[in-house]
Structure 1
Amino acid sequence: MRELTWRPLTRDDAQASADLLNAIEVVDQIGENYTAEDTLTELVDPSADLERASLCAFDGDVMVGYMKVRHKPSASVVHRVIVDGGVHPSYRRRGIGSRLLEAGIAAAQVVHALHHPGLQLVVEMLKAEKIAGLSELASSLGFAPVRYYQRMEHPLDSLPRVAEDLRIEAWTAENDEDFRFVRNEAYADYWGTAPMPADLWQNKITNQTFRPAASFLLRDGGGAPVSVLVTMHWEADTSYTGIRDAHFMVIGTRPSYRQQGFASALIGYALAAVAVQGYDRASLSVESAAEAPRFFEKAGFEPKMRYVRWALPTSH
Structure 2
Amino acid sequence: MTLRWSTLDAGSVTAWSELTNLLARVDGTEEFYEPEDLAEELTEHGFTPAQDSLAVWDEDRLVGYAQVRAGLSLTHAEGWARVSLGGGVHPDYRGRGIATEMFDRMEPRGITLARERHPGAPIQLRSGGGLESDPVRPLLAERGYEPVRYYMAMKRALPGPPLAPVDERVETFTAEMLEATRLAHNDAFASHWGSGPLTEEAGAELVRGRAFRPEFSRVVVSGGEVLAYAMTQQWVDRELYVALVGTRQSARGRGLARAVLNAALVAASESGRYDEAELEVDSINPQGAGALYASVGFEPARTTAVFARMA
Query: With structure 2 as the length reference, what TM-score do the two structures score?
Result: 0.92
Which of 287, 292, 304 in structure 1 is aligned with 2:289? 292
Worse-matched range after superposition: 34-43 or 197-206: 197-206
Report the alpha carbon displacement of residue 131 of structure 1 after superposing the two structures with TM: 4.8
User: Structure 2: how far apart are the matches of 1:229 and 1:63?
Assistant: 36
User: Structure 2: how far apart are the matches of 1:120 and 1:182?
Assistant: 27
In structure 2, stretches of 5+ residues that fail to align are: none
User: Structure 2: how far apart are the matches of 1:204 and 1:161?
Assistant: 28
Secondary structure of 1:246's counterpart equals: strand
Report the alpha carbon displacement of residue 206 of structure 1 after superposing the two structures with TM: 3.5
Does residue 1:186 correspond to 2:183, yes or no? no
Does residue 1:36 correspond to 2:35, yes or no? yes
Change (3 A) 1:40 1:178: same
Change (3 A) 1:130 1:42: farther
Report the alpha carbon displacement of residue 204 of structure 1 after superposing the two structures with TM: 3.7
Which of 119, 122, 143 in structure 2 is aligned with 1:120? 122
Report the alpha carbon displacement of residue 229 of structure 1 after superposing the two structures with TM: 0.4
1:143 partner amino acid: Y
User: Structure 1: how far apart are the matches of 2:133 and 2:59?
Assistant: 26
Change (3 A) 1:294 1:169: closer
Q: Deviations over 1:82-115 (max 9, x none)?
A: 0011001111111111111222212211211221
The 8 Å contact of residues 27 and 131 in structure 2, kept in 1 or not, is answered as no
User: Structure 2: how far apart are the matches of 1:296 and 1:139?
Assistant: 32
In structure 1, stretches of 5+ residues that fail to align are: 239-243
Residue aligning to 1:162: 165
The 8 Å contact of residues 131 and 303 in structure 2, kept in 1 or not, is answered as yes
Count of residues in Structure 1 that have an aligned counterpart in Structure 2: 304
Does residue 1:55 correspond to 2:54, yes or no? yes
Query: With structure 1 as the length reference, what TM-score do the two structures score?
Result: 0.91
2:69 partner amino acid: R
Report the alpha carbon displacement of residue 205 of structure 1 after superposing the two structures with TM: 4.5
Change (3 A) 1:21 1:281: same
The 8 Å contact of residues 125 and 309 in structure 2, kept in 1 or not, is answered as yes
Identity of aligned residues (%): 31
Which of 140, 148, 151 in structure 2 is aligned with 1:149? 151
User: Structure 1: how far apart are the matches of 2:295 and 2:164?
Assistant: 13
The 8 Å contact of residues 10 and 39 in structure 2, kept in 1 or not, is answered as yes
1:268 partner amino acid: N
Secondary structure of 1:56's counterpart equals: strand
CA RMSD, aligned part only? 1.7
